[in-house]
Amino acid sequence: MADTLFNVNVLNNKRSLENPVVEVKDTKKLTKFNGGESDVDPEAALANARHEFGEHGGVNMSIEASATFTVMEPDTLRKIFAGELGHEGDYYVYSRHFNPTVLNLSRKMAALEGTEAAYCTASGMSAISAVLLQLCSHGGHVVASSTLYGGTHALLQHFFVRTCNITTTFVDISDLEAVENAIVEGKTKVLYFESIANPSLNVANTPELARIAHKKGVTVVVDNTFAPMLLSPARLGADVVVHSISKFISGGGDIIAGAVCGSASFVNALMGIQGAMMLLGPTMNPKVAFELSERIPHLGLRMKEHSHRALEFATRLKKLGLNVIYPGLEDHPQHELLKSIGNKSYGYGGILCVDMGTVEKANKFMSYLQNYAHFGFMAVSLGYYETLMSCSGSSTSSELNEEEQKLAGITPGMVRMSVGYIGTLEQKWSQLEKAVIKFNEKH
């Protein structure tokens, strides 16, 4: 399939025999994202992306809820399966392959991340799994950050070894020399890390990590779930960007979804007849794709408020004497790095951590927050409009053993807070402060 298909700046015409669905502009002018405002600011790039109208002229795209698609001529099916026709010409065959509504969301994800292409999946873990299986053959090797979401760590540390003989070397990615030394030339296929690590909030030096990996022919895959809008890993040198759309991009705590963003050739390979996503089948429901397409336009506004409140709460909590971890604080080890590589309009992110010392104190603090001060909910996940909090070591990072948690910078009393934006800032701070005062009285 032609690489031109996925360029995000294309004209949308009403479907008819005279007017094709897609008219592709000069692709040579569209594949780079470093020339103007829309190439630098993700919000501007999203606004510049192709807009799909409804079947009857509605301002919102119609939902293409079909599993299978009809054709007008018998030979068309043969041509589709032979790769002679595809969705670039508005030819679809089966929604596990491509679906117009999911493709519309995928174009928005490509615009958001500044990549040629993207395609969306049923979950973030399915996106990660498909990408790594596509890039790593049996017996392959991955170099990965020692600080990863627990599910990703389990995938690399246990599942891939057991099922595919794909091995992983975990390293502190802030130690660039250690990263370079861990790469085995001719064997290492992927360097994998999170743009902002879950839950330690370490910030990856993506430009330098990409330079090291590319020098040795290694593909750079970055999970940008914690930092949509804030960071643009592909513009900083990453080859592939993955997301759990379930989090900030969804924003409602009601959808499980993922995305893969990269070159058109890579996404086409993933979705080809022998590709990992086509064969594993982590298919996104088009109704889910439609809902997410309606939420992405206000992602920038939401991220700004998440970040604004997280910085304000982190600053005030620190003044109260708590041990706060937040990239927006000047004492954070990667504060200056994030300032230099981040998209400044969107702040430092909506996640902060408070180290309460012990798991018992962490649990008591969360109980005061939810049940006494009515500040937030004890729940995993993030990016919700209300604050969510969890003790990472005993929840989302529990797949890591004690030594692995220590290497990942996860302490027993670490409380991760995904800061919401409902209510007024002062109203929510009053509740948060009330819980802190209560905790200090008892402990």
In DSSP terms, which residues pair with 23 in a beta bridge?
11
Q: What pLDDT, on the 0 to 100 scale, is given for residue 195? A: 99
**Rounded to an integer, what distance in angstroms lies between the CA atom of residue 74 and that of residue 78?**
8
Inter-residue long-range contacts of 158-163, CB under 8 Å, 24+ positions, other chains counted: 160/132, 160/136
Taking each helix axis as running N to C, give the angle between helix 286-295 and helix 100-113, from 0 to 180 degrees, rounded to the nearest 10: 40
Alpha-carbon distance values, 230 to 60, 68, 341, 359, 365 (Å): 27, 38, 9, 31, 29
Instruction: Say if strands 351-355 and 377-378 run parallel, antiparallel, or are unpaired.
Output: unpaired
Structure tokens at 25: 């502009």
Residue showing tokens 């919102």: 60
**Rounded to an integer, what distance in angstroms lies between the CA atom of residue 212 and that of residue 81?**
39
DSSP state of 19: S
Q: Are 133 and 164 in contact (CB under 8 A)?
A: yes
**Rounded to an integer, what distance in angstroms lies between the CA atom of residue 282 and that of residue 67?**
14
Q: What pLDDT, on the 0 to 100 scale, is given for residue 7? A: 41
Q: What pLDDT, on the 0 to 100 scale, is given for residue 82? A: 86
Q: Give 375's contacts (C-beta < 8 A, 6+ positions apart).
A: 369, 387, 428, 431, 432, 434, 435
Instruction: Say if strands 377-378 and 388-391 run parallel, antiparallel, or are unpaired.
Output: parallel
pTM above 0.85, yes or no: yes
Q: Which residues of the chain have pLDDT under 50?
A: 1-38
Q: What pLDDT, on the 0 to 100 scale, is given for residue 179? A: 98
DSSP for 299-315 reads HHHHHHHHHHHHHHHHH
Q: Are 185 and 178 in contact (CB under 8 A)?
A: no
Q: Are 371 and 399 in contact (CB under 8 A)?
A: no
Q: What pLDDT, on the 0 to 100 scale, is given for residue 16? A: 30
Q: Give 138's contacts (C-beta < 8 A, 6+ positions apart).
A: 164, 165, 166
Q: What pLDDT, on the 0 to 100 scale, is given for residue 22? A: 30
Q: What pLDDT, on the 0 to 100 scale, is given for residue 411? A: 83
For the chain, the average pLDDT equals 89
Taking each helix axis as running N to C, give the angle between helix 124-135 and helix 264-271, from 0 to 180 degrees, rounded to the nearest 10: 100
Instruction: Say if strands 258-262 and 219-223 run parallel, antiparallel, or are unpaired.
Output: unpaired
Domains in the chain, please, with CATH? 299-442 (3.90.1150.10)
**Rounded to an integer, what distance in angstroms lies between the CA atom of residue 385 and that of residue 368?**
20
Q: Give buried/exposed letters for 126-137 (b at 16+ CB in 10 A, else e).
A: bbbbbbbbbbbe
Q: Give 369's contacts (C-beta < 8 A, 6+ positions apart).
A: 375, 376, 378, 389, 431, 432, 435
**Rounded to an integer, what distance in angstroms lies between the CA atom of residue 304 and that of residue 350?**
9
Q: Give the CA dihedral 256, 262, 156, 216, nearest 10 degrees.
A: -170
57 torsion bin: left (phi>0), alpha (psi -120 to 50), beta (else): left
Q: What pLDDT, on the 0 to 100 scale, is given for residue 396? A: 67
**Rounded to an integer, what distance in angstroms lies between the CA atom of residue 329 and that of residue 323?**
12
Judge residue 83's burial from the number of C-beta atoms within 10 Å of its C-beta, 0-12 exposed, 13-18 middle, 19 or more buried: exposed
